[in-house]
Amino acid sequence: MHQLGDQLASGGHTVTQGQCLISGFPSVACDMHQLGGQLASGNNTVTQEQCLMGCMVINTCLGADYNELEMSCYWHLGDTVCSPLVPKDACKNFRKVACNGDTPIMTERNPGFHVLGGTVFCRECTEDVCLAECVRNNSCLGADYNRADMSCFFHYNDTVCDMLVMKQDCINFRVSSCSGDGNTVDTGPTTAQPPGGVAPGRVAAPQGNFMVMNFPGPETLPSTALAYPASNTKNGRLRGFGLTGQECVDQCFAEVTCLATDFNSVDGSCWIHTRMTSCDPLMQANQLYHIKKTACPAPFPMPTF
């Protein structure tokens, strides 16, 4: 995205490249950092590679600061990634995105995904042109770029927050933030949940053949979730034991790297799936409940809803 970085102003920041340049972070500043980042780990013994790899897999992480002396890592989201650079010895500042003044040109970057229903903008065009033209179009809130055929699809308000679907050679960009219910973020007043009802943006969890053993299953799910009651996929990473199904689901949907989760009602165990395992083969077991954030390509079975 070097061309895009040249096309859009970087907020007056002096960006140093050359020896500092790291793949995936076209803007890199040596002996600089930004204030207000989120500490990536309470343990200050992370390597630069770990710091940047973590930022790369988190779609809302748009930049990072790494302190070589402290071995500490701070991630920057959309609210701080374009803040002023401040000199600091032994620090490096990395950014995935260019800035338009103090505003990042996108809020999410989702490599390996696309969203269905986009409008064709161009074919045989570059990734930089695709994103730059979307930014210039006030109605364009996101875009998909396919590196295989060099095609670009724009997303407007009706599709930008639809479900992310895995697709090789694609990358999805969102210029507008999305809420957990599949809508663009609304800064207006919120609606209180009616007593005894289901909160807006959520639905009752389907039960199917799921059997509650010792720990209760999920009661509600985000309306964008894909439910597979009485099922699981292997190779998940254990989150912990003794959880309810609701706790298991809510914790997954609060983490951007968790794309699916399995809940076991026998021991209350909760298992996390990232993009590496979320589409592994589905298994049947009545005491288990599998939930996904994103759809898997065929021949993966269709969800209960």
Residue 295, helix vs strand vs coil:
strand
79-133 pLDDT per residue, tens: 888 889 999 999 999 987 777 777 777 767 777 788 999 999 999 888 878 887 8
Selection from 18-32, 167-181, 280-294 with the highest mean pLDDT: 280-294
Cα 262 to Cα 242: distance, rounded to the nearest angstrom: 13
Cα 109 to Cα 279: distance, rounded to the nearest angstrom: 20
pLDDT-derived band at 10, boundaries 50, 70, 90: very low
pLDDT-derived band at 15, boundaries 50, 70, 90: very low
- N residues, the chain: 305
Domain 204-292 has CATH 3.40.190.10: no
216 pLDDT exceeds 70?
yes
**Which residue do the tokens 């996904």 mark?**
292
- Percentage of the chain surpassing pLDDT 90? 24
> Which of 40 and 193 is assigned the larger pLDDT?
40
Which positions ≥6 away from 19 have C-beta within 8 Å? 30
Task: Kindly report which listed range (54-63, 64-73, 211-220) carries the lowest average pLDDT score.
Answer: 54-63
pLDDT-derived band at 59, boundaries 50, 70, 90: low
Q: What is the mean pLDDT of residues 284-304?
A: 84
Mean pLDDT, the chain, integer: 79
Determine the pLDDT at residue 44: 58
184-207 pLDDT per residue, tens: 544 333 333 334 456 777 888 988
Cβ pair 230, 285 in contact under 8 A: yes
What is the fold of 2-103?
Hepatocyte Growth Factor (3.50.4)
pLDDT-derived band at 6, boundaries 50, 70, 90: very low
Determine the pLDDT at residue 197: 56
The residue type at 140: C
Determine the pLDDT at residue 192: 35
Cα 234 to Cα 175: distance, rounded to the nearest angstrom: 34
Residues of the chain with CATH 3.50.4.10: 2-103, 204-292
Q: Which of the four CATH numbers 1.20.20, 1.10.730, 1.10.260, 3.50.4 does domain 106-174 have?
A: 3.50.4
What tokens does 88 get? 């600091």
Which positions ≥6 away from 221 have C-beta within 8 Å? 202, 203, 204, 205, 227, 249, 291
Q: How deeply is 215 buried, as exposed, middle or buried, from its count of CB atoms within 10 A (0-12, 13-18, 19+)?
A: buried
Distance of CA 195 to the CA centre of its chain: 32
Cα 247 to Cα 245: distance, rounded to the nearest angstrom: 5
What tokens does 42 get? 């309470």
Task: Kindly report which listed range (35-44, 154-163, 274-283) carries the lowest average pLDDT score.
Answer: 35-44
Spatial CA neighbour of 166 closest among 106, 115, 231 = 115
Selection from 1-10, 47-56, 120-129, 142-151 with the highest mean pLDDT: 142-151
pLDDT-derived band at 41, boundaries 50, 70, 90: low
Cα 209 to Cα 164: distance, rounded to the nearest angstrom: 27
> Which of 109 and 150 is assigned the larger pLDDT?
150
For residue 172, give Cα distances in angstroms to 134, 161, 204, 233.
Answer: 12, 11, 29, 26
With b meaning 16 or more CB within 10 Å and e meaning fewer, what string describes 39-76? ebeeeeebebeebbebbbebbbbbbbbbbeeebbbbbb
Which contiguous run of DSSP H or E holds residue 56? Answer: helix 48-57
Cα 128 to Cα 150: distance, rounded to the nearest angstrom: 11
Q: Where are the beta strands (DSSP E) in 164-223?
A: 164-174, 202-204, 220-222
Determine the pLDDT at residue 188: 35
